Structure 1
C-alpha cells in the first residue's frame, strides 16, 4: 500500500505530469469554446440541402471518425508544415505555425472531436428546419431570424451532448496530436501522450496512475451526461 502511495505521489508531483495535466485542461477548455461556435455554424450549413460543396464539407468533417488518427495527423502535418500548402501560407501571412506548438495540439483536439459536435447539431437542425423553420417562414421571418431565434435555442440539448462528447475526445486524443504537436516534453505533451511515453519507457506504474486519472475524468463526463439526461 505504501509503495502504491509513493508511486502515486511521485507521479502527481512530477513537473512533466503537472504540465501535461495543465495543458490537457487548457486544450480541452479551448476546444469546447471552438466546438461550440463551429458546431453551430457547420451544423447549420450541413442542415441546408443541395448547395455546392456541401458533400465535400460533410466528408471533411466526418473524416476523423473513419480515418485512422495517426494517418490523418500525417496528412495534416504535410498540409500545415512550414513547407506545406496551408502551413507556408499561414506562416507568411499570419506568422503562425501549428506544427510542434500548443496551437497545433489545440487544432488536433478540435479536428478529432469536431464530428461528434457537428453531427448531433446537424440532425437536430434538419428536424427543426422541416417543422419550426417552415412555420417561421410562413410568418414572414427572415432566414437569419429563423437561425438565431428558432433553430439555435432549440438545439441546445444536441449541442450540449456534442460538446460533452467532444470534450472527452479531446482529452484522449493521441494520433493527430503526436503528429502535429510532436510530443515535446514541457511544451506539447498532454496526459495521453504522457501515458504513451510511460509505456514506451517501461514505466507501467506511472502509466497506470495517468490512465486512472483519465478514467476518472471520463467517468465524470459520463456522470454529467446522465445527470443532464443526454444518454
Structure 2
C-alpha cells in the first residue's frame, strides 16, 4: 500500500495534481460568471436565437467528448477559424496549453451549471423580478438582490455538479491539451496514462482521489438540498 501511494505521488503525479488545481482555480469562477447569466437568459428568454443557444449549451452532454474536442480543435487550432486570429492578434494559443485545459473543463461543466439556474428562473422569481421593475430597480440591482438570492440553491447545485464533471474530463482535454507529460497532463489524463502503461497502482490512487472529491461534492449537494 505504501509503495503504491509513493508511486502515485511521485513528482510526475504531483505535477498533475497541481496542474488540476490550477485549472479548477480558473474554471470554477468562470462557471459562475458565465453559467449564471447564461442560465438566466435561457430561462427567461424566448425566440429562435435563445433556442439555438440552448441547443449549443446541450451539445457537450449529447455528443461524445471526443467529437466535442475534435470540433474545438478544428475551431481553435493554429489554422482554425478562431485559433489563427487569436494567436496572430492576441498571442493566445489555446491548443496544447493550460488555457486549453481550462476551456475543456469549462465546456464539459457548463451544461450542468446552466440547467439548475435555468430551471430556477420560473414561477415566483418572475413575479419578484416584475415587482422589482415596478419599484424602479434596474436589471443589475434586480440580478444581485433578487435573482441571485432566489437561485442560490440552483447555483450551488450547478457549481457542485459542474465542478465534478470538469474534474473528470478526459476526451476534450485529451484533444485540446494534448496530454503532454509535464505540461498538460491533468489528474484525469494521468490516470489514462497510468492505465495505458500498466501502472494500475498509480491509476488506482489517483482515481480514488478524484472519487473522494466527487463524494464530498455529492454530500455537500445533498446537505444543501435539505436546508
- Assess same fold via TM > 0.5: yes
Which blocks of at least 5 consecutive residues in structure 2 are unaligned? none
- Distance in 2, matches of 1:18 and 1:138, equals 55
Write the deviation string for residues 47-105 of structure 1: whole angstroms up to 9, x where unpaired: 22324521121111111111100110000000000100010121122110110000000
The answer on 1:32 being equivalent to 2:28 is yes
Higher mean alpha-carbon deviation, 123-132 vs 59-68, is at 123-132
1:31-180 map, 5 Å? 31-51=27-47, 53-180=49-176
State the match for 1:185 in structure 2: 181
- Aligned-residue offset at 1:227: 2.9
Question: Which SS does the other structure have where 1:227 is aligned?
Answer: helix
The answer on 1:11 being equivalent to 2:28 is no
Q: Is the 8 A contact 2:129 2:142 kept in 1?
A: yes
State the match for 1:201 in structure 2: 197
4+ residue runs of structure 1 moved beyond 4 angstroms? none
- Aligned-residue offset at 1:128: 4.3
Higher mean alpha-carbon deviation, 149-158 vs 175-184, is at 149-158
Q: Is the 8 A contact 2:8 2:203 kept in 1?
A: no
Write the deviation string for residues 4-23 of structure 1: whole angstroms up to 9, x where unpaired: 221212221x1110010111
Which blocks of at least 5 consecutive residues in structure 1 are unaligned? none
TM-score w.r.t. length of structure 2: 0.93
- Distance in 1, matches of 2:11 and 2:73, equals 28
- Distance in 2, matches of 1:230 and 1:35, equals 24
Alignment equivalent of 2:19, drawn from 18, 23, 48? 23
Change in CA separation of 1:47 and 1:87 when aligned onto 2, cut-off 3 Å: same
- Distance in 1, matches of 2:148 and 2:18, equals 32
- Distance in 1, matches of 2:193 and 2:11, equals 15
- Distance in 2, matches of 1:230 and 1:82, equals 48
- Aligned-residue offset at 1:207: 1.2
State the number of aligned residues: 227
Q: Is the 8 A contact 2:153 2:225 kept in 1?
A: no
Q: Is the 8 A contact 1:46 1:58 kept in 2?
A: yes
TM-score w.r.t. length of structure 1: 0.92
Write the deviation string for residues 181-210 of structure 1: whole angstroms up to 9, x where unpaired: 000011100111111111111112221111
- Aligned-residue offset at 1:146: 2.5
- Distance in 1, matches of 2:203 and 2:94, equals 28
Across the aligned residues of Structure 1 and Structure 2, the Cα RMSD in angstroms comes to 1.7
- Distance in 2, matches of 1:116 and 1:128, equals 23
Question: Which SS does the other structure have where 1:19 is aligned?
Answer: helix
Change in CA separation of 1:206 and 1:105 when aligned onto 2, cut-off 3 Å: same
